A and B are shown apart, each in its own frame.
Chain A
Amino acid sequence: MTSQIATLLAVLLFPGGLFALVLGLALKGADRRVAARLQGRVGPPLIQPFFDLIKLGFKRTMVPTEASETVFLAAPLVGSVAMLISAALIPIAGVYAPDTELGNLLVLLYLLAVPGICLMLAGSASGSPYGAIGFSREMALMLAYEGPIVLIVAAVGMRTGMAEGHWVTFSLTEIVRYQQVHGWFLFDPIMWPAVAAFAFFYPANLGIVPFDIPEAETEVLEGPLLEYSGPALGLFKVMSALKAVVVLGLGIALFLPLPFTGPLAFVGWLVEIVVLMLVGVTALRVSAGRMRIDQAFVFFLKWPLLLAIASVAAVALAAGGAS
């Protein structure tokens, strides 16, 4: 019973739920502010995403006549809930470790695919031709980036698992604990291909330039989001804010968890995620142009996939050499 309450709290309050939502929105605000600075502007206040969200709450949600209403309204809800749960699966080194039953990388991977699927559903349910193009682009992009991430996760799992004496582990808690003892995978040359592949994965998953192709405003108006308004649009904003926390948190857990405990570890984790957001997302987003979907697809089949395969091979070879 207590474990169920703990899980519920983890999903609703910390580190999922409210905490992740506030953090995600704050990250988005920081992203916009810093992007503006890099572009030579003042930019919006840090808490602008909160204002946006409150504003959307006061607006009406309009359902297009051609849309299938249930799917149209359910898509953002399902996406947000999936992200809420996955935020509870991300360990914060030295502060929070998810329930071993829950804290499984494979579950997380499935949950991470949900927002993409929701966007696809939203696009096709809205009945607009741009939504349909958004659907096909999102699908293509997902096909392109889902392969590498599975391999990356496998490589990390194998590296940890083999060192711990079994074949492979999918427990994030174990991966974090291993790194706390043996140092970051970021500094482990064998893991570098995996790190590089992950660096290609997260912009695509977060849908930022150069991979914001499904939502490209100047090409397909905002694609799947075109027909959304009011609270439903707000839910999509919530989903994307949570996703930023989940994906960046996953990156931290996989490659650079801090070896501290207590408040210091928590503050350290916050610093890590903010730095990742500003350097990895904001700077990238403003300094590049968008790719075309065919270019992105070929690009993903080439580099991240190769790197991911290389990382699995490297881990396997290293383990073979050691034994």
Chain B
Amino acid sequence: MTFINKLKDFAVKSPWLYRINGGSCNGCDVELATTACIPRYDVERLGCQYCGSPRHADIVLITGPLTRRVLDAARRVYDEIPDPKVTVAVGVCPISGGIFRESYAVCAPIDQYFPVDVNVPGCPPRPQAIIEGVAKAIAIWRQRL
């Protein structure tokens, strides 16, 4: 058992990230791209890696207020992510709908549709805040492995 636990401790050092854009204004997405790719924040230090396919993902970051049009696509992609996975809502839009809350075209808050684990408020959140959220998500992911 301890051996398995040890292995799991190693496994959490490799959280692969995938982002679902639920109709966001780009702000959070640009910040995610910034967080993911540029030398200044370098999430690869934590073993994180952005992957192109949902099937490779461990931590899924959802941005945007989840428009009606994108809802089905987002759910389909979400289901393609193999378990165990952790969901992070990035920005205020997925958490509550933010400024678009009252619109007819918006399905937020997303916790009606996806089991959200971590919220990162901000409009958009700074990259450091996103990293903080990802760190929280990794801790949750360890328990689920």
Contact = CB atoms under 8 A, between A and B. Distances in A.
Contacts of A40: 39
Given A36-B44, A221-B52, A62 B82 contact: yes
A42 B51 CA distance: 19
B45 interface: yes
A43 B45 contact: yes
Contact of A229 (B13, B42, B55): B55
Interface in A36-68: 36, 39-45, 48, 50-52, 54-55, 57-62
Interface residues of B, number: 25
Contacts of A39: 39
A226 B55 contact: yes
A233 interface: yes
A226 B52 contact: yes
B11 A55 contact: yes
Contact of A42 (B42, B53, B84): B42
Contacts of B10: 50-51, 54-55
Interface residues of A, number: 32
B44 A54 contact: no
Contacts of A294: none
Interface string B9-33: 0111111100000000000000000
A243 interface: no
B86 to A, nearest CB: 13
B8 interface: yes
Given A59-B82, A62-B80, A41 B11 contact: no
Interface in B41-65: 42, 44-45, 47, 51-53, 55-56, 58
Nearest to A220: B52
A52 B12 CA distance: 9
B42 A58 contact: no
Contacts of B58: 55, 59
A62 B55 contact: yes
B42 A222 contact: no
B59 to A, nearest CB: 11
A89 B125 CA distance: 53
Contacts of A230: 82
A40 B44 CA distance: 12
Interface in A225-265: 225-230, 233
B108 to A, nearest CB: 27
A137 interface: no
A41 B53 contact: no
Contact of A44 (B11, B12, B45, B56): B45
Contacts of A57: 7, 11
Contacts of A32: 44
Contacts of A61: 82
Interface in A165-219: 217-218
B105 interface: no
B139 interface: no
A41 B42 contact: yes
Interface string A274-298: 0000000000000000000000000
B132 interface: no
A227 B42 CA distance: 27
Contacts of A43: 42, 44-45
B55 A44 contact: no
B83 interface: yes
9 contacts: A40-B39, A42-B42, A43-B44, A44-B47, A48-B13, A51-B47, A54-B14, A55-B16, A58-B84
Interface of A: 32, 36, 39-45, 48, 50-52, 54-55, 57-62, 217-218, 221-222, 225-230, 233
- List the 8 shortest-distance A-B pairs measured between CB atoms, nearest first: A229-B55, A55-B14, A55-B11, A51-B14, A221-B52, A41-B39, A40-B39, A51-B13
Given A36-B42, A36-B44, A59-B83, 19 more contacts: A32-B44, A40-B39, A41-B39, A45-B13, A45-B47, A48-B14, A51-B10, A51-B14, A54-B14, A55-B12, A55-B15, A55-B16, A58-B84, A62-B82, A222-B53, A228-B56, A229-B82, A233-B55, A233-B56
